[in-house]
Structure 1
């Protein structure tokens, strides 16, 4: 199953940011990443001093500039209303920043989402051929990031490996909290299609029983966290090795019908305690899923004794 959003490079976009002007690859979703430096004044304006004098990753979606600006303005307001929620050793803050871009013709001013740059593309790229212990350690760090958000009344809303990176110090970091949720809330018509992260989500997230927007819950985060941990341990997305499932659409249909409980237990890497933890997180009944605090406790035990 091919799922990477960085496959199928089609064209380039020309950008100017922080003194750089040049061409960068544009992927099939109409987004791109580029390593640059965040202007000091921008870092200061959003209380993100960790960005200063560091390389950054630029993400620009294909939705309209008006929609992008609305989403990013709302995001910044949310950061400022509850700043402590987003400050944690295992959470990466993404901020909006100005740049100029153009696929053809003159470059025009626009806004992009900026975050610190990490060597590995995402956590799945990082863990390839890694030890079980190193993966469990990263899972514990990821769970603690989610716990911090939940303790401050923030639901991430789109946990999956594409939003989890590993720093140059080898620590897991969770990115893009609330961004997908805001996009769905403000512009549901632009975010209604299935995306790579869909195969990690709870059944009620994929279809809540109504066309109206239903905010994600902590129980949905717990479910997606378990799916992400499963992917970290197996080094591949859920359903990757299920012969009857070859597309995201087929995976989502399976999740909606039976959830991730249908996934077979891998032959190695999953002790009884870890498998039981993931199974409880995948309960079809949201209220039966453990709290994030219970998950952290279970994973810390597994890290020490399994």
Structure 2
């Protein structure tokens, strides 16, 4: 086990235990969140602040709702939420301030995201190993009836040992008070076109996993020809495949079977997609043949 991942608690900590130097600029700042490097009792951590929009009373109520949702998260998540299982601990920071943020922390990963890591140079075998590690971790979550809700390259980090871990586990569900439908390249169609609330299920996780796995193998983003959210939404509405329907030259030969396994993730009928247990089993069998 990577010892740097062990010290964080699994539930909640008080805001005054965290130090974030105000002079240090954010590592990432988007419409929805800000990520900074911080310190918790001598351990380097990632501090993610999710923006909450609204009047002061609305912000306070939403933050209280999120806190209650986190407290009510089933206890069975915690045996599986461990880096040995490929799942990063997620910790909510309890705060009494009125700032418009909900704050989470997780261990700091020097290697960054999976895309940062493979960009430095990874063999195909190493990429396949990372994909299998993600599949195993997601299978474990689903076996515990836990939906991740936001599988994407930015939520797959690499430890000092070069192993993939899933982060932000369940955050999208916990923050359902803040987020409704978000269009991105990794969202399953049922999450985009349910206009009342994004329909997050294990099958929507399967779609997103397929997108990430294909991107790692092909080094092409899903819906790569789309440059705006509107174009992605149109592609989903027209039920186009994220990576096209034609076998790409880069995966011909020994990778054709893997292509077939992953393409099954993109069925527009969620119930027709394979579950993660089946996917992982099929991929393991293929790897054994590939060897």
> Do 1:222 and 1:292's aligned partners in 2 also have CA atoms closer than 8 Å?
yes
Instruction: Tell me which residue corresponds to 1:255.
Output: 236
1:112 aligned to which of 77, 82, 103:
103
Spell out, residue by residue over 1:238-297, the C-alpha distance to the aligned partner (whole angstroms, 9 max, x if none): 123x3xx22233123202321426525433256111100111111122222112111111
Is 1:83 aligned with 2:78? Answer: yes
In the alignment, the residues of structure 2 paired with residue 227 and residue 257 of structure 1 have an alpha-carbon distance, to the nearest angstrom, of 18
1:90-239 equivalent positions in 2, closer than 5 A: 90-97=86-93, 111-128=102-119, 129-184=121-176, 186-187=177-178, 190-194=179-183, 198-208=184-194, 211-213=195-197, 215-239=199-223
Distance change in 2, residues 1:222/1:21 (3 Å): closer
Distance change in 2, residues 1:287/1:117 (3 Å): same
Offset of residue 152 of structure 1: 0.8
| 5+ long unaligned stretches in structure 1 | 1-14, 40-52, 102-106
Instruction: Tell me which residue corresponds to 1:302.
Output: 286
Instruction: Tell me which residue corresponds to 2:250.
Output: 268
SS of residue matched to 1:61: strand
Offset of residue 305 of structure 1: 2.9
Is 1:59 aligned with 2:87? Answer: no
1:289 aligned to which of 257, 260, 273:
273
> Do 1:261 and 1:279's aligned partners in 2 also have CA atoms closer than 8 Å?
no
Distance change in 2, residues 1:99/1:68 (3 Å): closer
Offset of residue 206 of structure 1: 1.2
In the alignment, the residues of structure 2 paired with residue 79 and residue 19 of structure 1 have an alpha-carbon distance, to the nearest angstrom, of 29
Distance change in 2, residues 1:170/1:192 (3 Å): same
In the alignment, the residues of structure 1 paired with residue 74 and residue 51 of structure 2 have an alpha-carbon distance, to the nearest angstrom, of 23
In the alignment, the residues of structure 2 paired with residue 179 and residue 293 of structure 1 have an alpha-carbon distance, to the nearest angstrom, of 22
Offset of residue 215 of structure 1: 3.8
Distance change in 2, residues 1:73/1:265 (3 Å): farther
| 5+ long unaligned stretches in structure 2 | 1-14, 54-58
In the alignment, the residues of structure 2 paired with residue 156 and residue 20 of structure 1 have an alpha-carbon distance, to the nearest angstrom, of 27
SS of residue matched to 1:177: coil
Q: How many pairs align?
A: 263
Offset of residue 181 of structure 1: 2.2
After TM superposition, the runs of 4+ consecutive aligned structure 1 residues lying more than 3 A away are 15-21, 79-82, 98-101, 107-111, 190-194
Deviates more, 1:260-269 or 1:220-229: 260-269
